[in-house]
Structure 1
Amino acid sequence: RVDVYYSVWHDPPQTTGPGTFIDEVIEHAGGRNVFADAMRAWPRVSIEAILRRDPDALVIARHAPDAPGAPWLEAPGWRELRAVREGRYLMVDGDLFNRPGPRVAEAARHMARFLHGAR
């Protein structure tokens, strides 16, 4: 399994914890949520906590179609992550990934292609 950090928001960093539908999407896509052991469903985390877990891949929710990429990935801390150094991050449509509903299966397929290549 690929260790995944899912970015719900970047400032302050917020991710998905255990038992959320995004946690399940990560699992169904063949990944492992690096914050699956968090005490909350939607925890705010520090960049230091993310660095300690050093995920293999980042999945970043974009909250508007015309939102810029993720320039904050060049900031100290973020750029030290293995996933950033190796270019293993994916910008995703927040509407697709952050809303539970019938399109969750599409989100899981999209994430699986990113994590494991075409299947």
Structure 2
Amino acid sequence: MANNPAIAKIRCDGCGDAAEVRQQANGKRLLYTVCETCGCDRRTGDALQALWRENMVPLDAELPEATEPAEAQASTPATPGDEWKPDPESAPESETETESSSGPGSMLGLGLAAVLAVGLAVLGVKYSGGRA
């Protein structure tokens, strides 16, 4: 991998520190960032590439104030009132309830097993020459 020179800088969206913006020397000439803390970020999506282009500043310019990093926002514990709880009526049955069910699906399974057993028994008798 070529060591492309930094063309600008940007706030790392992982940790909020300064990261270098570099550009691939071949292919689509996509931007990528290099942060001392988070490492190299080579995501290629159009929306992210546009965001980097809009927010990068020259190497000798000051970076805008850091906002709270995305990881810190995601790791902030939710208050108990904001926590999602499943609806008890739409929750799936527990495994013990489904094991003991005797619905049409279980009867079909038993019927197929019986047909398979009889078929194998007939084939066994046929290939053994009538001897058991």
TM bin, normalised by shorter chain, reads under 0.3
TM-score (norm 1): 0.23
Larger proportion of strand: 1
More contact order relative to length (CA 8 Å, sep ≥ 6) = 1
TM-score (norm 2): 0.22
- Is the radius of gyration larger for structure 1 or structure 2? 2
